[in-house]
Structure 1
Amino acid sequence: MVVGIVIGVCVLLVVLAFVVPKLSRHPQRGAQKSAGLGGRVAGKAPGKLGHWLSKPFSKSQKAMGKSAGAGRKGRSKLPF
């Protein structure tokens, strides 16, 4: 379920960054901020468990950033 949501957000960010590159920064930051919040909450678990629980959130943040960057990069290569 959560993986599907992250994939959906990444696809949405790619499309948004490709269509409107300058306006895609704010939604990207918002999505990464919400994933960061989940990671911070999960990281408060004791010991190694906190590290393990926060790892998926950091991976999803990284994926969101890469997908938005890929959309902007693809747009910049177009001739118009």
Structure 2
Amino acid sequence: MIIVAVVAVCAVLLVLAFVLPRFSRRPQRGTQRTLGAGARAGGKAPGLLGRILQKPFSSSSRAVGRSGSAGRRARGHMPF
């Protein structure tokens, strides 16, 4: 369920960053902030469990950042 949601958010951000590169930064930061809060909450668990609970949120945040930057980078390579 969460994987499908993250993939959908990444796809939307990729398209938004390609079409409107300047306006894609705010949704990207908001999504990363939300995922960062989940990672911080999961990281409060003790020991190995904290790292296990934190990892999906941090890797999802990284994926959101990469998809947004990839859309802006692709837009920069376009001839128009």
Q: In 2, distance between residues paired with 1:20 and 1:51?
A: 36
* 2:78 partner amino acid: L
- What stretches of structure 2 of length at least 5 have no aligned partner? none
Alignment of 1:8-23 (within 5 A): 8-23=8-23
Cα deviations across residues 39-64 of structure 1 (Å, max 9, x unaligned)?
A: 00011111110011101111001000
Q: In 2, distance between residues paired with 1:62 and 1:56?
A: 10
1:68 aligns with 2:71: no
Q: In 1, distance between residues paired with 2:16 and 2:33?
A: 18
Alignment of 1:54-65 (within 5 A): 54-65=54-65
Alignment of 1:27-38 (within 5 A): 27-38=27-38
How many corresponding residue pairs? 80
Q: Could you state the TM-score of these two structures normalised by the residue count of structure 2? A: 0.98
- What stretches of structure 1 of length at least 5 have no aligned partner? none
Percent identity between the two aligned chains: 54
CA RMSD across the alignment? 0.5
TM superposition outliers: structure 1 runs of 4+ over 4 Å = none
Q: Could you state the TM-score of these two structures normalised by the residue count of structure 1? A: 0.98
**1:79 counterpart SS class:** coil
